Amino acid sequence: MELGIREASDRLTLTGKDVLLKRCMIVCAAIDCLGICKIPALSIIGDFNLENEAALTAGITGLPIDVDSLLEAGERTLQMERLVNLNFGVTTGDDQLPALFGEKPVEEGFGKEINQADLLTAKQNFYRLMGWNSKGIPTAQTLERFGINFPKWD
């Protein structure tokens, strides 16, 4: 399944949302890199596989662009964006829902079972999937994988 596990589409659980979020972010970054509108690509067509975008890009440029290369470009872009944001002072504390979401407990329905500890665990799982450390900083291995030379962060 391209978007992770089937449970990720269940709005009543955090299960699989980390994988879903990573995939959605990568696809959106790849489409942004192409300079095309996400509305027809993601809303009208309704897929996140980038096959149409790869074929379009290869046809226009004559370059051997495929889905994997677009996904890699999207993920590399996210890593560089994270480094820029860190350079401007973003911390793991900025990667959270607004305080309003934790001020008043949900009495029933969606969110009743989700607490701040669950959200923290989900954030750490997402960081791990992105190749970041527990502070949300891309690891040396992640930067090397994408050929990004950037001063080491601790």
CATH of the domain at 127: 1.10.599.10
Q: What is the pLDDT of residues 82-130, one digit of tens each?
A: 999 999 999 999 998 777 666 666 666 666 666 778 888 999 999 999 9
| Alpha carbon distance 22, 12 (integer Å) | 19
Of the candidates 52, 51, 53, the residue with the CA atom closest to the CA atom of residue 31? 53
When pLDDT is cut at 50, 70 and 90, the band that residue 60 belongs to is very high
- pLDDT of 45 over the 60 cut: no
**Residue 154, domain member (yes or no):** no
User: pTM for the whole thing?
Assistant: 0.84
Question: Long-range contacts for 124-131 (Cβ within 8 Å, ≥24 apart)?
Answer: 125/18, 126/18, 126/21, 126/22, 127/92, 129/18, 129/19, 129/22, 130/22, 130/78, 130/79, 130/82, 131/79
Of the candidates 47, 77, 52, 48, the residue with the CA atom closest to the CA atom of residue 66? 52
State which amino acid sits at residue 141: Q
| Alpha carbon distance 136, 115 (integer Å) | 21
Our count of domains for the chain comes to 1
**Residue 152, domain member (yes or no):** no
**Residue 92, domain member (yes or no):** yes
The two tokens of residue 47 are: 């897929």
Q: Are 4 and 23 in contact (CB under 8 A)?
A: yes
**Residue 153, domain member (yes or no):** no
Domain that holds residue 38: 6-145
Neighbour tally for 137: CB within 10 Å = 19
